[in-house]
Structure 1
Amino acid sequence: MNQAKCLLSIAFFGAIGGCLRYFIGIAFPFMGTIVVNLLGCFLLGFLTFLWLNFHTVASWLSLGLGTGFVGSFTTFSGFCLDNVKLLLAHQMFTAAGYICLSVVGGWLAAKLGMTVGIYVGQRLQLGKDR
């Protein structure tokens, strides 16, 4: 595996993911972090299970999309900071809901992504077999 190709792929897709996260944060001022994290969970589940089960993908592309795009698109630090802000504002119920929605929603989004990835892969496989 060519390390330079992998690093360039991570940098390229990371720049796109970071910019997209910024624009989603503008579009959804408070909910932006939840939106990107749930979408990221879905995307990583989808891509992982589609590629693992049905397609061979070049490692530079897998690293670029997984580590680069999804890694820069999602934000654990933003999730934590949002919770600290809510706790400092004495919004305990909102903070608890935010944590539950993020964790449970993230798990469900990853599971949905996995399910969709397997479904799409099976459909693509059926198309190849005809």
Structure 2
Amino acid sequence: MKNGSAVLIGGFSGGILRAALGLVVVSPIATLLVNLVGAFLLSFWTYWGIERGAFPSWVNLGVGTGLIGAFTTFSTMSTVTVGLLSTNVVLGLAYLLVTAVAGLAMAGLGFWLAKKVGKAQ
């Protein structure tokens, strides 16, 4: 019950944050920004929160699966990419490449920073 509630609350919160950002920043930039921030946060949380055992499993589920999972949006990224590819192949491929490379870079940065923070504590 606690796990499900944590995912529900986290998912609701992540969805609200995602929708709010979409009102402020236009797509496809909003989608790119959401996914880059999400890649960083999930990587950071995975190392700092989960691997170190810093929080109970229900908190990890609420934050990782719920909050960050609902905040990020792979399906929207895929739809935006297909839309861009249908109108401008070069722009669509560039968007896909930037999303993949920058996403991996942000995940790496999150992991690196979490290790630094973990050592400092």
- Percent identity between matched residues is 34
Corresponding position of 1:23: 20
Q: Does 1:114 align with 2:85?
A: no
Q: Does 1:57 align with 2:55?
A: yes
CA contact (8 A) 1:42 1:113 kept: yes
Unaligned runs of at least 5 residues, structure 2? none
- TM-score, scaled to structure 1: 0.88
Corresponding position of 1:12: 9
RMSD of aligned Cα (Å)? 1.1
Aligned-pair CA distance for 1:27: 1.3
Cα deviation 1:57-116 (Å, max 9, x = unaligned): 100000000000111000110001101111222x11111111011111110000000000
Tell me: CA distance 1:52–1:8, structure 2 relative to 1, closer, same or farther (3 Å).
closer
- TM-score, scaled to structure 2: 0.94
Corresponding position of 1:47: 45
Unaligned runs of at least 5 residues, structure 1? 125-130
| C-alpha distance in structure 2 between counterparts of 1:59 and 1:14, whole Å | 16
Which residue identity is paired with 1:28?
V
CA contact (8 A) 1:54 1:122 kept: no
CA contact (8 A) 1:49 1:114 kept: yes
Matched residue of 2:26: which SS?
coil
List structure 1 runs of 4+ shifted beyond 3 angstroms. 52-55
How many corresponding residue pairs?
120
| C-alpha distance in structure 2 between counterparts of 1:103 and 1:88, whole Å | 19
Matched residue of 2:9: which SS?
helix
